[in-house]
Amino acid sequence: MMGMFRNIGATLEMIKWEHSIFALPFALTGALLAAHASNAARSFPTLPTLGWILVCMVSARSAAMAFNRLADAQIDAANPRTATRAIPAGQLSPGFVGGFVLVSCVVFVLAASQLNRLTLWLSPVALAVVLLYSYSKRVTRWSHLVLGLALGIAPSAAWIAVRGSLDPRILLLTAAVMFWVAGFDILYSCQDADFDRKAGLHSVPRYFGVAAALNVARVFHLIMLALLVGLLAAFGLGRIAMVGVAAVAALLGYEHSLVRAEDLSKLDAAFFAMNGIIAMVFFVFVAADLLVA
């Protein structure tokens, strides 16, 4: 019995389930915008639709995180910062993790089939994007953008879940999330610049140095803010949503103030706490704007 509980704890730690807060609010924003655009004002997705979107989000993210740990097991074992992760530390076997990935993928496809035909058809494409990210760091220094795309497809997928079709306007939110995630992933990867260089892995900090990488992250986050403003204009959102964008800008500014090239000691606070707050703040303000429209 204790061994089972240890496995559950190690599995939850492996998939970092609490970090679902990053993409989930943006997916819910996409769902709200889809419902609002398809019907009268103050229209919201049905509870079953929201429930299946939640299952899709959790299962896809769980599959992606577990697959990443499986693909990077040898790399994690060689990196002192990640050597305590579940597989290199012997807490979970590669076979167990592989089975977990398979089950998560099956759950995702089944949940997608409960939404509409297009979500089912596109479910293998979504899985390919979120799983194959794990190998992008072996190929390109811009792997941060691939990770951004993996999370950025969430609002567009949620739109399709509600509408059964895709509106080009929601791609503004997908692009915004992509640059947002890429920016904070660059911040996070600054910790591993030296290791990436020795291991032959690719990242912005490895190629350009930490100081320049911080500037790239700032540029990506400015692009994100511009895309959010464009999103508000495309959907005719009002002042409340604009206040939300301003709040996101302030939070991003604070996040970047925590990290300096010569001092990365506050990086965990910048990465985990602030980005979860940013996602929730934007969702709350957009939802409030739609509610009073």
Q: Which amino acid is at 23?
A: A
Distance CA 130, CA 144 (A): 13
* Residues of the chain with confidence (pLDDT) below 70: 1-21, 39-42, 269-271, 293
Q: What is the pLDDT of residue 131?
A: 93
Distance CA 284, CA 2 (A): 40
Distance CA 154, CA 177 (A): 9
Cβ–Cβ under 8 Å, residues 210 and 261: yes
Cβ–Cβ under 8 Å, residues 147 and 184: no
Q: What is the pLDDT of residue 45?
A: 86
Distance CA 75, CA 156 (A): 32
Enter the pTM of the model: 0.91
Q: What is the pLDDT of residue 75?
A: 87
Q: CB-based contacts of 57: which residues, under 8 Å, 6+ apart? A: 20, 23, 24, 27, 154
Q: What is the pLDDT of residue 15?
A: 59
Q: Which amino acid is at 285?
A: F
DSSP state of 260: B
Collect contacts of 239-242 with beta carbons under 8 A, ≥24 apart.
239/289, 240/285, 240/288, 240/289, 240/292, 241/285, 241/286, 241/289
* Ordered domains of the chain (ranges, CATH): 2-292 (1.10.357.140)
Cβ–Cβ under 8 Å, residues 146 and 133: yes
Q: What is the pLDDT of residue 1?
A: 37
Residue 208: how many CB atoms within 10 A of its CB?
16
pLDDT tens column, 157-195: 999 999 999 999 999 999 999 999 999 999 988 888 888
Q: What is the pLDDT of residue 270?
A: 58
Q: What is the pLDDT of residue 72?
A: 86
Three-class DSSP category at 243: helix
145, 151, 153, 154: CA torsion to nearest 10: -160
Q: Give the largest CA-CA distance in the chain.
A: 57
Q: CB-based contacts of 133: which residues, under 8 Å, 6+ apart? A: 64, 68, 143, 146, 147, 149, 150
Cβ–Cβ under 8 Å, residues 205 and 144: no
